[in-house]
Amino acid sequence: RRVRTLDLLQAKAEGRRWAMLTSYDQYTAALFEQSGVEALLVGDSAANNVYGHATTLPVTVDELIPLARAVARATARALVVADLPFGSYEISDEQAVASGVRFMKEAEVHAVKLEGGTTMASRIRALTTAGIPVMAHIGFTPQAEHSLGGYRVQGRGEAAEALLADARAVAEAGAFAVVMEMVPAELAARVTAELPIPTVGIGAGADCDAQVLVWQDMAGLRPGRAPRFVKQYADLHGVLSAAVREYVDEVREGTFPEAERSFE
Ligand code: KIV
Ligand code: NA
């Protein structure tokens, strides 16, 4: 049976933590849910991890929908959430609902995610009123990286009150969960204890109700240095590089394909 937003609320009530990963294609989606991941995020991080952009800003609804559709189709159990990309919900509540409807109809995802706190409360209310569950995203919000001055921890010192206000606002507006990105662990713990809805941490300490990571980061596929909050559970970059190098060598030597892989 499919995980529903109510199951995640129930998990919070019972003190059961759950795991979320990004996914952008059918094989990872099926493998992740079979490995116990409760919720999958078709993130606008596809801008970086699929389409090769430097930021999340350029990716469009038209580019995300086919990926979201593949993930939804490949799964039977996980709750599938799609990011509303930059430019698809800022203008008005009507624009947000129109974009949300496209993801629900064309990709058949189960919820959408958008970035912002108090300023996005009316968007969250409009979407939930339309029957579209919303996961909020506060703290560091990558779509706003140019106005936030780059990747930096949010909610330190004086800014803690504003982050708390954002968390309360999105819960009050009807979000079923809230991602907190790059927030001091102690503040994230306070938000998690106070809010009635699950908190999903990324760089927000272990006291959140759930955690989320970009899969290519946690599996070590992405080359280069990962952010501090990423734990690399595998070295897919190394594994795949070695396999491809061996294949290339064997093709050059003429040892692949072997007789048993050839036809008479
Ligand atoms: O797009 C994304 O991958 C995200 C998560 C990292 C929270 O928004
Ligand atoms: Na995102």
Structure tokens, 203? 């760089």
Residue 55, number of CB atoms within 10 A of its CB: 15
- Both 218 and 239 in a single domain? no
- Both 133 and 30 in a single domain? yes
- Both 145 and 180 in a single domain? yes
Structure tokens, 244? 């491809």
Which residues, in sequence order, are CB contacts of 25 under 8 Å at separation 6+?
A: 67, 70, 71, 74
- Both 59 and 111 in a single domain? yes
Rounded Cα gap, residues 169 and 165, in angstroms? 6
Tens of pLDDT, residue by residue over 97-131, are 999 999 999 999 999 999 999 999 999 999 999 99
Q: How many domains does the chain have?
A: 2
- Both 36 and 102 in a single domain? yes
Give the 3-state secondary structure of residue 134. Answer: strand
- Both 180 and 245 in a single domain? no
Structural domain of residue 58, as residue ranges? 5-233
Using alpha carbons, select from 129, 110, 160 the residue that is nearest to residue 3.
110
- Both 116 and 219 in a single domain? yes
- Both 243 and 152 in a single domain? no
Tens of pLDDT, residue by residue over 180-190, are 999 999 999 99
- Both 222 and 248 in a single domain? no
Helices (H), 75-176: 93-102, 121-129, 145-148, 160-173
Distance 250 CA to ligand 1 centre (A): 39
Please report, for the chain, how many H helices and E strands are present, in that order. Answer: 11, 8
Tens of pLDDT, residue by residue over 39-97, are 999 999 999 999 999 999 999 999 999 999 999 999 999 999 999 999 999 999 999 99
- Both 117 and 214 in a single domain? yes
Please give the model's pTM, rounded to 2 decimal places: 0.98
The ipTM of this complex is 0.99
- Both 135 and 208 in a single domain? yes
User: CATH code at 123?
Assistant: 3.20.20.60
Q: Ligand 1: which residue has its CA nearest to atom 2?
A: 43
- Both 197 and 255 in a single domain? no
Which residues approach ligand 1 with their CB closer than 6 A?
22, 41, 43-45, 83, 137, 179, 202, 212, 214
